[in-house]
Structure 1
Amino acid sequence: MIQGRFFAKKGLWVSEYRIESGLNCGGHAFASEGFLLGPVLAEFKEKRDQLNRLANEVLAQGLSNKGRIVPKKQMEFLITAQGGVGTAEEHQFLLDHYKMDSVGWGTPFMLVPDVVNVDNTTLDLLKAAKEDDLYLSGISPLGVPFNSLRGNTKDAEKLAIAAEGKPGSLCPKKYVALNNEFTEKSICTASRQYQRLKLKELDAEELPNLEHQKKYDRIIEKSCICVGLGTSALLVNKLDTKTEGLGVSVCPGPNMAYFSKTMSLREMVDHIYGRANMISRTDRPNMFIKELNLYIDFLNSKIEDLTASTTNKEKSSLVAFVENIREGINYYDQLFSEVKDRFEDTKNSIFSDLETSRKNLNLLYLKI
C-alpha cells in the first residue's frame, strides 16, 4: 500500500499488487515479522476500496504537479496472491473468500517439462524430495535466505572443489559482485577470491575447532547461483556449458514435497482447476497451516541463535514476532470455524494442527 502511494505520487500507477507468502514460496525468502498470509489477505480485502481511492487521489495530484493529463476515470488495479497453493480448493478459496483477481502457482510447474527446462538429474531429485530435503539455505551471495534442495548438483560441485582446497566459484558472470569487505573493486561472496580472503581471516582468529568449523561452513556455503540457476536450461537444450560447468542450482518452495511425478501441462492445469489430482500423498497440510509451521521453524532458528550478547531490543523483536504469529493462529481458528462448505474433509486436522502450533509457539516464547 505504501509503495503504491509512493509511485502514484510520482505519476506512476501500480496495476497489480502481488501478495506472496514470506516463507512458503520458492527462491529467495523474505520472511515478515510473523505476519501470516491469511491475515494479510484479509487486510487487503478489507481495505481495497480505501487503497484504490487514496492511490487515485495521490496519482491525480502527482500528475497535476507534473503538468500531465489526469485520467477522467478512476484507475483500477488487480490484487493477486501466491505461496504454497496446492489444490483446486485452496485456489478457489483465495478467489472467493479473499476476492483475489488471480492466484499464482510456481513450484509444481518445475515438474512440467512442457514449460520448464529442468535437467533429468535435477528432475529426479525434485520428484523424490520430501520435507527435509527442501530447506531454507544460506547459499545466496545476496545474504538473503534462499529455498534450496539438498543434494543439488551445484552444491555437490561446490563441496567437491572445497574438499580439494579450492573453495569458491571462478565467478564467470559477476552478476552479484557486491562485496567490498576486502577489495576496492566489488567481488561476490561466492567467489574463490572472496572465500580465500575470508578463510585467511578466519584462520587468523585461531578459534576452537567447533566454532572454526561452523564459521568455515558458513563461508563456503555461498554458491554461484547466478550461474547454477541457468545451467539446467543449457543442459536440457544441449548447449555448451564449458564456462558454467555442469552443476545445477534449483530453488523449489516447500510445496514440492507433495508433488512427486512428472506432469504434462494439461495435467497440471487440470489439477489447478479440480479436474484431476496430481498429489498422491494424503498427509499434505492446508497451505495456511504449512506456512504457519514454516514461520514457527524460522522463529526457532532465530531463538537458537540467541547469545549472551543479544540485546533487549532484539529480544523484543522476537517477542513481537511471537505475538504476530499468535494473532495469526487466532485468526485461523475463527476463519475455519466460520467457513462453511470448504475444507470439510480436513477441518479436524486443521484445528488439531492449529492447537499443536499454538503449544509449540508458547514453548518457544519461554526460550526468549
Structure 2
Amino acid sequence: MATGFSFTLAATDGRARTGVITTPRGEIRTPAFMPVGTAGTVKAMLPDSVRATGADILLGNTYHLMLRPGAERVARLGGLHKFMNWERPILTDSGGFQVMSLSSLRKMTEEGVTFSSHIDGSKHVLTPERSMEIQRLLGSDIVMAFDECTPFPAAQDVSLESMRRSMRWARRSRDAFGDRLGHALFGIQQGSVFREQREESAEALKAVGFDGYAVGGLAVGEGQGQMFDVLNYAPGMLPDDKPRYLMGVGKPDDIVGAVKRGIDMMDCVLPSRSGRTGQAWTRRGQVNLRNARHADDPRPVDEACSCPACRNYSRAYLHHVVRANEMIAGMLLTWHNLHYFQEIMAGMREAISKGRFASWENDFQSRRSEGDIEPL
C-alpha cells in the first residue's frame, strides 16, 4: 500500500464524513470537490486561480493526455505537475469512462480495449497494464484502476459480465501498479443499479486491497433518484477507513446528497463547462447570464459571494461579455462556479464537524428553492 498516503476521519454526522487525505504533495480536506483539468488545464483558469477557489486537488484525464501531448512526452518534461504548473495533488482517471463513450470507435476484449483516436483516427490499445504505465508517466498522486464503465441502462446479465471483467482488470491494475512510494491506487466498484452486483464488486475489491475506493458507473444517465438509491447502500459496502470517491458528480444538490450518503470525493466538469456557456451556479440555483433580463442589472450574480466575478462585475457586464462571446466571460463565470462549489464543500466540512449537517442541508435546500432574485 501507498506509504506517505493516509486518510484520517475527523468527524461523522449520520453517514456524512469529514477528514483529511494526506499525500506527499499536500493535504486534501474531505469532502473534496476536484475540478477537472482534462488535458492538463482547468479550462479558462490559471492554476493559482483554481487554488484560490479552495481546491486541494485536480483531476487529469488519462485518455486525453495519452493522445495529446502523450504520456511519454509529459514524463520527459518532468511530469504532469511541473508540466501544468500545479504542485498540489493530482488524481488521474483510468481512461475507462472515455473509452466507454467511444462505443462506435472501440473493440473490447478480455485483454483490454482497442480504439481509434477521436483526434486523428490513430489506433491505440488500452489495457490495465498500459493504463498504470501512462498514469505512472504522468506522475499523478492518486491513480485509478482500469475498469469498464458499464453504460446505462444495462440488462442484469450484461452488467454482471461487465462488472466481473472490471474486477479482473482491478487485480491486473494492482499487480501492474506495484509499490510506488507516495502514490495511491484506488479500485472502482461497478454493478450498475443492482445491489447484489455492487456487493460482489466491493468484496472483490477488498480482497485485492486498495488505498481508496470509488463508486463508478453512476451519473451516466440513471437520474438522481436511482443514483441516490444506489448511494443509500454502495458506500457502506466499502471500507470505512479509506476514502470513497464518487466519479463524475455533479450538480450542487447531487454533491450534497452524495456526501449525506457517505461519499468523500467528487469531480465534475460542470462548473467550468457551465461557465463557458454563460451559466452561473449560485446559492439560489442556476442563473443564465445570456438572458435579456440581466442587460441593465447593476447587481452581482450573487451578493453573498466573494469571488472576483461577484466582487468586481455586474450582471449587466457579464451578460454583455457572454453575448459578445468574449473570453473573459468564461473566465469569470468559471471562477465563480468553482468558488461556489468549493464554498459548498467548506460549508459541509464545517457542518459535519459541528454535528449540524442536517440543518446546513435544510438551509442549502431552502435557499435554492427561493429561485433567483427578482428582476429589476
TM-score (structure 2 length as normaliser)? 0.27
* Higher relative contact order, structure no. (Cα contacts within 8 Å, ≥ 6 residues apart): 1
| Greater fraction helix | 1
The structure having more radius of gyration, on CA atoms, is: 1
| Greater fraction strand | 2
TM-score (structure 1 length as normaliser)? 0.28
